[in-house]
Structure 1
Amino acid sequence: MSGPKRTATRSEHALEDLDGAALSYAARFAGQPENRRRDLREELVQLALPFAGRLARRYRGRGEPLEDLEQVARLGLVKAVDRYDPERGSFTAYAAVTITGEIKRHFRDRTWGVHVPRRLQDLTIEVSQATAVLTSELSRSPTVAELAARLETSEEDILAALESAAGYTPASLNGPVGDDGPAELGDMFGALDADLESVDDRLTVSGLLYRLPARERRILAMRFYGNYTQSDIAAEFGISQMHVSRLLSRTLTWLRQAMLTDAPPRWESGVGQGDTADTLTMSVERTGGKVLVGVRGELDRDAAERVRVGLTEAVCAAGDDEVLVDLDGVGFIDAAGIAALLASHEAARRAAVRLRFARAQPYVRRSLTVAGLAPLFA
């Protein structure tokens, strides 16, 4: 016994007659006024809406709401109706291609999280489909070479497509790292180096520091790198705290000026403003069978020649007397000053005169000890 006869619905009849309706629409459209053309166009669009909805439902479940896909499909349907030409073939086939193209364009333009060229987008889809097929055939994941052979393209393009696939749904920087803890993915990225812009200045300062006298370099290092106080520095060099303050001010002023000019200004050893704390003075006094030479100030490269000449003259005039050099007033000595003392020692040796040093400040004494003059200390 046969079952009840099924009655075809209006929607099914409409789908079956879609090509015929399109031909009828095209035949009547040409000779109608503008308002009648709009009505005919609306009738055909309404008739084909179920067809567009069926094409849209093929792409559901791919991350886009079905309502959005249906809207895109309807837009493609309207374009197909406006561009339809009966001489080019079936309206159904033409509308299917147009609607499908609009849906794919929507996925390309709206759903990728990162902009990827269209060629790579299409290749990514092909790679995904080929991977599924080859996995079924080989019972394992295909290699890049196998995918390239199946799609007849280069391995470089396959690798680019695989890398581009990650741009479809990129991970959120606010996503958690691991299962526990409040850390986010964005926390794993490094921040901008705030000190990067100061690299040029640091290199420039490093070069300028070598233009400073040894004493000034050492004071800067102790103050800003060793975290010494001005009083500590003054005790180290045997000078006053006020003198240390003036030396720091003068040195920093010179560095600022040198940083702002192409040619660094000449370093002036005097501090000016009536301060003579670093101006070297010498006194010679004969007493009790000794020639007492008093030296006060800074025995640096500017004063070294004066000390060498003065001590050499004292040695030559000493005769059989001993020459005692009082260094209590010397707060600083550099390589040039040490060389001057060595030269006076050599002159005393040639003249067979005994030369000794007395009351040297700790910093000066250490420098002379390193230079090998420790046996001459009184």
Structure 2
Amino acid sequence: MARRSLQPIYWDGDAVMIVDQRVLPHKDKVLRCTTPRQVIQAIKKMAIRGAPAVGIAGAMALALGAQSITAADPKTFRRKFVGLCDRVRAARPTGNNLGWAVEAVYSVAVENPDADVPTLQRLIREKSQQILEEDIAINRAIGRWGRQVIPKGARILTYCNAGALATGDYGTALGVIRAAFEADPTVHVTCCETRPFLQGSRLTAYELLHEGIPSTLITDNAAGSLMQQGKIDVVVVGADRIAANGDTANKIGTYTLAALARANGIPFYVAAPRSTIDPTIANGSAIPIEERDPKEVTHFNGRRVAPKEMAAHNPAFDVTPNKLITGIITEVGILKRPYRKNIRQALEQA
């Protein structure tokens, strides 16, 4: 497989370039977005996905929109920009990083009350690039912390895709795995296919092969059997939103894996930046769960596989209770129980 950067989003002049993850691994296609609407559609249609990457895309959508706002005075600019922020924030509801990024970019307009319109446009563009660059540095820090919990020769299970393609680059859960592999090339990774969108078989498998990390793909429903047979030593997954008490929303099926890991005495770690933590949500019951098109379940590659009259339920995420989580790997350390206290302290760190 030819080696190339896996960075899923970047600036090319005044355009936002997004790797279309819907056609990977069989086709390399890059979407050239010149309007915020195009980026928002890429988020909604899952051309770009993964909470950190979606946050970066949201920031870049705001930068594109800021450039196109016609306003002679800063007050009018700010009023129009607020409306754009609301549209971007609504693109996907479950992940916290999108709302976090929107607030971070909007703060530029708030913190520069005397700036004229061209200056605000420049500062917003610079902020979007800063969010991208900081995400990459954060992922590498997560990897450095996380490799400490990976035993030598470990057989690691991961789920969905929390790699370079789901972030600015490098990855969260896969960042931990990359860092562990750099220190110990004897580790082996088992990745689940992740129905119904197949992020595991299409994207995680692609990234593992790209990095030369020994790996095996399994069906989602094979994970419990491997755990029962003693063939998994540790589970590492990403996250889309973490509540103040440590309850974690991630791709649907994560809760099942956490329960299976607990039943088989296997450590279960979540890897995520602090921007994924939502301190305004007390526990997982308040996390909004996105419902996606039932056709993702009833159809495969555009072809119906279920009976025509069959209804389908397609929640994109589930919530893993904090009692099933061994630790939350962040850029400032590995958070353990009591989660509410340690999460609060982690968020207070500079």
TM-score of the superposed pair, with normalisation by structure 1: 0.25
Larger helix fraction of residues: 1
Bigger Rg, which one: 1
Larger strand fraction of residues: 2
TM-score of the superposed pair, with normalisation by structure 2: 0.26
